[in-house]
């Protein structure tokens, strides 16, 4: 379905894509180039906008609140692997949910790693790698993302 939507981002294909999701609110818009693993673990609030080439790897649950904006090439990852080389050789993976509160803006090229919670009103600067929870109504940026200032 993701490939079909990318080839032809029509309203019909957008509806078919959203039908895969666990939930999607009113006025959700997704630009072409969207990719996900399953879809059924993606929960989108109202008026969510996903710009071009967003990737949501939903082995774990991804919750995105109302009025969120995701820039181009944002990646939200829920899958991880063991750090120990002995454990990793088995190729097992594990999932950690990602939660994004209401009215969050995630800048272009941001990568959100497994288990992260981004609270309401936060802004994530373009190109950031978010590996820890983000406080409400604060600007975070960098690699790794750090608090820059309250908003």
The residue-averaged pLDDT of 79-94 equals 89
> How many domains are contained in the chain?
1
Residue 134 CB neighbour total at 10 angstroms? 23
pLDDT bracket for residue 13 (50, 70, 90):
confident
Rounded CA-CA distance 106/122 in Å is 8
> What CATH number has the domain bearing residue 115?
2.160.10.10
pLDDT (tens digit, 9 = 90+) per residue, 98-131?
999 999 999 999 999 999 999 999 999 999 999 9
Structural domain for 139, as ranges: 2-150
Q: Which residues are catalytic?
A: 81
Show Cβ contacts of residue 113 under 8 Å, excluding neighbours closer than 6 positions. Answer: 77, 80, 129, 130, 131
Average pLDDT, the chain: 94
Is 9's pLDDT higher than 80? no
Residue of 71, 79, 82, 63 whose CA lies nearest to 24: 63
pLDDT (tens digit, 9 = 90+) per residue, 61-78?
999 999 999 999 999 999
Q: Is 100 exposed, middle or buried (0-12, 13-18, 19+ CB in 10 A)?
A: buried
Cα-Cα-Cα-Cα dihedral sign, residues 69, 55, 30, 119: negative
Rounded CA-CA distance 9/15 in Å is 10
Buried b (16+ CB within 10 A) or exposed e, 26-42: eebebbbbbebbebebb
Alpha carbon 122 to chain centroid distance? 14
Is 54's pLDDT higher than 90? yes
Tokens of 119: 């609270």
Tokens of 133: 């929870």
């Amino acid at each position: 379905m993701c490939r079909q939507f990318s080839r032809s981002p029509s309203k019909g294909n957008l509806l078919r894509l959203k039908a895969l999701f666990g939930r999607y609110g009113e006025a959700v818009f997704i630009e072409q180039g969207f990719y996900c693993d399953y879809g059924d673990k993606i929960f989108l609030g109202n008026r969510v906008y996903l710009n071009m080439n967003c990737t949501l790897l939903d082995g774990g649950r991804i919750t995105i609140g109302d009025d969120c904006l995701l820039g181009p090439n944002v990646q939200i990852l829920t899958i991880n692997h063991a750090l120990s080389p002995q454990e990793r050789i088995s190729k097992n993976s594990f999932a950690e949910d990602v939660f994004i509160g209401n009215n969050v803006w995630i800048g272009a090229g941001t990568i959100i790693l497994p288990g992260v919670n981004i609270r309401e009103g936060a802004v994530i600067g373009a190109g950031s790698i978010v590996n820890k929870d983000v406080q409400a109504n604060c600007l975070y940026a960098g690699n790794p993302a750090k608090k820059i200032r309250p908003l």
